[in-house]
Structure 1
Amino acid sequence: MKIALVTGANKGIGRAAAEQLAALGMTVLIGARDPHRGEQAAAALRERGADVHALVLDVTDRAGVQAAAARIEERHGHLDVLVNNAGITGSGQVSPQDATDQIPSSVDLDLVRAVFETNVLGVIAVTNAMLPLLRRSPAPRIVNVSSHAASLTLTGNPDGPFSALLPSAAYTPSKAALSALTVQYANELRKDGILVNAAAPGFVDTDSNNHTGFLTPAQGAAVVVCLATLGEDGPTGGFFSADGPVPW
């Protein structure tokens, strides 16, 4: 039985990815900071026949991350798929393009630190804790959920589709850092057969953008699931959306 862990999976893209991975026959662990919300999401998916279980996991709590890894080892012995989905915009219930508090020249450094703590350092903490379990899989896969906003090519084009986005010193740079991190993990783990890629789900209707997105969570999760189930000849160190490669 394949075991998958999706962080931040009690709602939105993470929950949709968990549901789709379970539909493929995997046992899926829903990582969530709030035990009640995690169990609610898992119970709802189990009612639909999915083999899904809640796992308390705050990616910014190092001891908690290690405890989660120990629990997976105790119950399952290995891990086949890690989806680093947990993330924050840093601006409450507004979309990054409306985040006036992230303007570089006036941003609060505590906000920047908080965003990077979850979106970058949290990914490192979880990935490193889960790597011993992933190494026990015959086909381990790591997917880092990113954003089109991470693309320097797209956001740096003054005449491009992202020119209307407000400059951001927190969320957007954190996702660009996640891209760099994805490549570095891919370079290190390539020899071990661990494929590591970043996914851009698109503008999905979620809490993080106050439900202004036009894609459903299920549509956004499709590329995540695709990367999580790549064959042995699949790419690594790439950045992909449902339409194909995303420029760095």
Structure 2
Amino acid sequence: MTIRAVVWGENIHERTNEVVAGIYPEGMHTTIANALNADKAISASTATLEQPEHGLPVARLAETDVLVWWGHKDHGAVADEVVERVAKRVWEGMGLIVLHSGHFSKIFKRLMGTPCTLKWREAGERERLWVTSPSHPIAEGVGDYFELENEEMYGEQFAVPEPLETVFISWFQGGEVFRSGLTYRRGAGNVFYFRPGHETYPTYHDATVQKVLRNAVKWAVNPQGSNHAILNAPNVPVEKALEPIEERGPKLHAHGEAGFR
């Protein structure tokens, strides 16, 4: 089965900044989608902030296996309704890949439950990304490390929960280090945060970065599909208990009544 991916881009800098427009004339989201579509196992389309419902209506998300998210300038413009819609799909099993400054996106902070803060510096430094989990599918074919000649620095401490796995750690010319490839599971959904991708540098044209993104999309897919029941909280009647029991003492809810949320 072909993996159905949607690349979501804020698409502001590409329209307002000459440097970014020169690097990504069709938008970063298009460059990323084209890189994903180079793999026949992936079918990637795009969505952007300015579209109705930010390009992510309920029906489209229901047909999305993996959502790739890039945002920076206007995280606050993303409607809370859409954020909750995306979170629901992640809990059900949709994969989510959050890129670079998406660490401050509403959806990433919603799923992490932490401030997601970090140190940063915009100086075009060399970034060396070390593979710390060489057997991980996301790192397949990368080697021991790869380098980006110009990138924005992100430095620890990164205020996120302890990940399931750390796939990459970055070193920058100024001396800082950063956990640049982190995996999580939220509900039935796989989540990957990947650090590189500052808009004034051609990061998403880099062949190794594109390889990592394709690997990540394949990793993020839940092979069991959507688990809609994960959002249910059923009131199990006494007669359906696995072992025979008798009710003892008063109870708050009536037979079959839904619980409070």
TM-score by length of 2: 0.40
Which one has the bigger strand percentage? Answer: 2
